A and B are shown apart, each in its own frame.
Chain A
Amino acid sequence: MLGYYFFLAWKNIRRTPGNSLIVVVGIALGVAVSTLFSTIYYTYARDPIPEKSGSLYHVRMDSWDPKVAHPMGIPPRLTYQDTLGILESNIPVRQTGSYPSTVLIGSHNEPNRARRESVRLCNSDFFAMFDVPFRYGSAWTTAMDDPDENVAVIDDTLNQRLFGGRNSVGEVVTIEGRPFRVVGVIEPWQPSIRYYDALLLPTALVERVYVPLRRGSALRLSPETYSLRWKQDPKEGTEGAYMGELVFIDVWVELHGADHIAAYKRFLDGYAADQRRTEHFSRPIDNRLTPLLEYMRECKCPPPEAAAMMLVADLVLLACALSLIGLLWARFLARSAESSVRRALGASRWDIFAQHIIECQVVALGGGIVGLGLAVVLLQAINMHYMAVHTYEIFHVNGAMIACALIATSTAGLVAGVYPAYRACRIAPAWHLKLQ
């Protein structure tokens, strides 16, 4: 029966090309707009690391001015000294502090060709926690988090430039004039959202070099990120930054289960209470463990504009579907004689209804395919617009986008077609048979 309905639908489309074309265009525009904005929204909103997002937590502590709260409530990051203090705990399964900076890096043989590249200072657990893929080698071991070991992980682009892309594990690079041993090379990797450091620019490029956290202080690197302090540093310059109240480090821990979380929270509270002996933690203790997805939302990821646009786009789809009702009605009523004959021959109202709905969906499907194509083109246009700033394509066509388009299509087809189909199946057969 279904096959017969599809055959009828196809025949009817060919018989009314004008009407079909207009319906296809109408649905295509609605689907294009709806799919485009849904894709943009979900690029920001989707879980970047589903296997782990439930167990990754961002640590924040209120180490701020005793007299005035931080503008965001509690500071979004931790000071260097607090980070070192907290990383002493052995409760979390994995943990890392991290912050970005820039360094002069070149190969050992040609130190004059050193260039300035972005670097991330972090612990060895960082790579395992965030599933960073390695091409050669691996992360440094926890033992090498020690400030005396000069090890580094570089990314594929840097590996190409310095070593021609070969396995450079064991080679030496010069960072800020000092020799560092390469222990790993990362595959080309760019998550759509840099979720472990999403506060300022969630779509920033990932860093090219990774170096153990403690090296930052020895190399006198200044944090290249949003950072504030509520009190003057005890010393001038970058050295003071590492000793003072500058909050610039994101600390992530991996915890499994409520007991684990509670135990770590107790540790944090204990640490804060301990620090109260100095002026450092004079505010009421407010330590927060924020799960990854909630942290992303707090960093405006997805940005509220994206949600608003998605709402508007869905309304546009609705408007398109409503506009097409009249057209579909005209289409069905033109063939009411046929439906009457079928009813007289024994078809039930439901059969007629089903046949018309399927015809709607077939036409809508044509519109959906065109709309999806249009959405892909528009998505690339938006990518091009942002290329200048980000130099990589933020938005990708993927299965979710296609699924979005299909859902939009059949919804539009349904909304537009259900009332005309209902009226079509209610026609009294005798009236049309009589007029023949």
Chain B
Amino acid sequence: MELGPIVRAMLTNKPRFGLIAMQVAITLAIVANCVALILDASVKMTASSGFDDEYFIHVSFACPIPENGGAEARDAWFRQTHEELRQLADVQLLSVTSFDPWQDSRGTMKPASTDIEKVPATEIAGDEALSKTIGLKLDEGRWFSRDEVQSRAHLVIVTRAFGRRLFGDGPLVGKQVEDFNGDIRTIIGVVSELRALGSIGWAALHGEDGGAVTFIPMIYTNEAVVVRVDPGKMGEVRTRIETYLERRSVAASRVATFSELQRRHFAPERLMVSIMGVLAFVLLFIASLGIAGHTSFSVTERTRQIGVRRALGASTNDILGYFLTESGIVTTLGLVIGSSLAFVLNAALLRIYDSAKISAPIVTGSALLLWIVALGAALPPALRASRISPAIATRNV
């Protein structure tokens, strides 16, 4: 395939080919950013929480006694409900807690009586059963007692990673921290390791320091509990819980595994993925329309020339190859410009908001995709060109 004549022919018509190259460039820039955002969101939506679905059920429900029925009546109802849930067959443990691997509730803490800035951490309110229920290992100190939970004692349990951030290495029990409310709390236990949770988890996934979690002895709400079930009995226990809640004529309830909670929490990300996907698809479709139209026009323009070439001995494949190559050169030129344009657009987006960063593999992958789409788009008109009969050359009309 002689590139010389093809390129020279294109150079006689610079604006037209230039515009198509620009269109390909802009398409690549946008598609690459869309792909980056989709990948980023997918990572969040499929990340593992570190808690095996087989063991845990999250149950939330509302009390059917209205608020003006009296606080004591409501408390008694909750106590009874918690106890009856705990007694269900195959339920090992139950904890009244705000724990949810995908929650985003953050607090900030700093060592007491210092002036350094408060460090953010995921904050979880839990009762005395939480550590056994979700399987936390303490490598220093102890968990909260029932009395401490009931009295909302000013204590805290931190993860080793968070404690290290505040106090460096060394024993942490007995040290005092100030939380974001201004209360002074004493550390009474240290969790050895905890998969980073919620939004702090994303910091961990992206390489920043994660694992910053603090536990407060408090029943923040009676309406959410986490249940630990015997292995293999997840499905049965779930049905049992749902039947039980129905019998208790509970106001509103939700029984979910941690994966289901994950899906719920990432509804905005799912919307984002849909929007980006649609946008990328629309762009690729339009790009293919444009390239098809342009190639078709190119063919029409050179009908006579094609006829002459065929009459002089060119095969159908030569003609096909000519137009595919022409389209390929413009596309490649556009992709090269588009690659740098993709980084420029990404920089602009990152400046406006917290978008996803693109990388060379993403741009290369998108470019490849676009190249294949462009090839597919140029094929029908090129095939039409290859079928032009040599008799055209000798016609005078």
The verdict on A319 contacting chain B, using a C-beta distance below 8 Å, is yes
Option from A116, A232, A313 in Cβ contact (under 8 Å) with B182: A232
Nearest-Cβ distance from residue A73 to partner chain B, whole angstroms: 14
Measured in the bound complex, the distance between the Cα atoms of B25 and A322 in whole Å is 11
In the complex formed, the residue of A with least CB distance to B180 is A228
Residues of chain B with a CB closer than 8 A to A71's CB? 108
Q: Are A385 and B282 in contact (CB under 8 A)?
A: no
Residues of chain B with a CB closer than 8 A to A232's CB? 182-183
Measured in the bound complex, the distance between the Cα atoms of B22 and A333 in whole Å is 22
Residues of chain B with a CB closer than 8 A to A435's CB? 397
Chain A interface size band reads 35 or more
Residues of chain A with a CB closer than 8 A to B300's CB? 330, 333-334
Measured in the bound complex, the distance between the Cα atoms of B30 and A260 in whole Å is 49
Measured in the bound complex, the distance between the Cα atoms of B291 and A339 in whole Å is 26
Option from A228, A304, A312, A325 in Cβ contact (under 8 Å) with B30: A312
Measured in the bound complex, the distance between the Cα atoms of B271 and A246 in whole Å is 36
Measured in the bound complex, the distance between the Cα atoms of B116 and A237 in whole Å is 29
The verdict on B294 contacting chain A, using a C-beta distance below 8 Å, is yes
The verdict on A403 contacting chain B, using a C-beta distance below 8 Å, is no
Residues of chain A with a CB closer than 8 A to B181's CB? 228-229
Residues of chain A with a CB closer than 8 A to B29's CB? 315
Which residue numbers of B lie inside 8 Å of A, CB to CB?
A: 15-16, 19-20, 22-23, 26-27, 29-30, 33, 66-68, 108, 115, 117-118, 180-183, 267, 271, 275, 279, 282-283, 285-287, 289-291, 293-297, 300-301, 345, 348-349, 352-355, 397
Q: Are A323 and B23 in contact (CB under 8 A)?
A: yes
> What are 12 inter-chain pairs, A to B, with CB distance below 8 A?
A22-B293, A114-B68, A232-B182, A305-B353, A308-B349, A308-B355, A312-B279, A315-B26, A319-B26, A319-B283, A325-B290, A419-B15
Nearest-Cβ distance from residue A76 to partner chain B, whole angstroms: 15
Q: Are A324 and B26 in contact (CB under 8 A)?
A: no
In the complex formed, the residue of B with least CB distance to A325 is B19
- Interface 9-residue window, one of A26-34, A88-96, A143-151, A181-189: A26-34
In the complex formed, the residue of B with least CB distance to A312 is B30
Nearest-Cβ distance from residue A19 to partner chain B, whole angstroms: 8
Option from A112, A228, A313, A326 in Cβ contact (under 8 Å) with B290: A326
Interface centre among B117, B291, B293, B294, by most chain A C-beta atoms within 10 angstroms, is B293
Q: Are A330 and B297 in contact (CB under 8 A)?
A: yes
Residues of chain B with a CB closer than 8 A to A322's CB? 19-20, 22-23, 26, 290
Q: Are A104 and B23 in contact (CB under 8 A)?
A: no
Kindly list the 3 A-B residue pairs having the minimum CB-CB distance in the complex, ordered from nearest. Answer: A323-B290, A326-B294, A304-B353
Nearest-Cβ distance from residue A224 to partner chain B, whole angstroms: 14
Q: Are A104 and B67 in contact (CB under 8 A)?
A: yes
Measured in the bound complex, the distance between the Cα atoms of B182 and A303 in whole Å is 31
In the complex formed, the residue of B with least CB distance to A330 is B297
Q: Are A319 and B23 in contact (CB under 8 A)?
A: yes
Residues of chain B with a CB closer than 8 A to A419's CB? 15-16, 19
The verdict on A311 contacting chain B, using a C-beta distance below 8 Å, is yes
Residues of chain B with a CB closer than 8 A to A323's CB? 23, 286-287, 289-291, 293
Q: Are B297 and A326 in contact (CB under 8 A)?
A: yes
Q: Are B30 and A319 in contact (CB under 8 A)?
A: yes
Nearest-Cβ distance from residue B185 to partner chain A, whole angstroms: 13
Q: Are B293 and A319 in contact (CB under 8 A)?
A: no
Known: A319-B30, A330-B296. A33 touches B282 (CB 8 A): yes
A54-74 vs B, CB cutoff 8 Å, 1 = contact: the mask equals 000000000000011001000
In the complex formed, the residue of B with least CB distance to A228 is B180
The verdict on A231 contacting chain B, using a C-beta distance below 8 Å, is yes
The verdict on A318 contacting chain B, using a C-beta distance below 8 Å, is yes
Nearest-Cβ distance from residue B26 to partner chain A, whole angstroms: 4
In the complex formed, the residue of B with least CB distance to A309 is B275
Measured in the bound complex, the distance between the Cα atoms of B29 and A325 in whole Å is 19
Q: Are A324 and B290 in contact (CB under 8 A)?
A: yes
Q: Are B66 and A316 in contact (CB under 8 A)?
A: no
Measured in the bound complex, the distance between the Cα atoms of B69 and A115 in whole Å is 11
Q: Are B286 and A30 in contact (CB under 8 A)?
A: yes
Measured in the bound complex, the distance between the Cα atoms of B349 and A180 in whole Å is 52
In the complex formed, the residue of A with least CB distance to B281 is A29
The verdict on A320 contacting chain B, using a C-beta distance below 8 Å, is yes
Interface centre among B16, B19, B108, by most chain A C-beta atoms within 10 angstroms, is B19
Measured in the bound complex, the distance between the Cα atoms of B68 and A104 in whole Å is 8
Q: Are A315 and B30 in contact (CB under 8 A)?
A: yes
In the complex formed, the residue of A with least CB distance to B117 is A68
Nearest-Cβ distance from residue B226 to partner chain A, whole angstroms: 24
Q: Are B352 and A308 in contact (CB under 8 A)?
A: yes
Residues of chain A with a CB closer than 8 A to B68's CB? 104, 111-112, 114, 177
Residues of chain B with a CB closer than 8 A to A67's CB? 115
Measured in the bound complex, the distance between the Cα atoms of B285 and A316 in whole Å is 12
Measured in the bound complex, the distance between the Cα atoms of B182 and A320 in whole Å is 56
Q: Are A330 and B293 in contact (CB under 8 A)?
A: yes
The verdict on A329 contacting chain B, using a C-beta distance below 8 Å, is yes
In the complex formed, the residue of A with least CB distance to B275 is A309
A12-53 vs B, CB cutoff 8 Å, 1 = contact: the mask equals 000000010010011001100100000000000000000000
Measured in the bound complex, the distance between the Cα atoms of B70 and A104 in whole Å is 12
Known: A307-B352, A323-B289. A333 touches B23 (CB 8 A): no
The verdict on A134 contacting chain B, using a C-beta distance below 8 Å, is no
Nearest-Cβ distance from residue A294 to partner chain B, whole angstroms: 18
Q: Are A311 and B352 in contact (CB under 8 A)?
A: yes
Nearest-Cβ distance from residue A163 to partner chain B, whole angstroms: 20
Residues of chain B with a CB closer than 8 A to A325's CB? 16, 19-20, 23, 290, 294
Q: Are A308 and B22 in contact (CB under 8 A)?
A: no
Residues of chain A with a CB closer than 8 A to B23's CB? 319, 322-323, 325
In the complex formed, the residue of B with least CB distance to A324 is B290
Nearest-Cβ distance from residue A101 to partner chain B, whole angstroms: 13
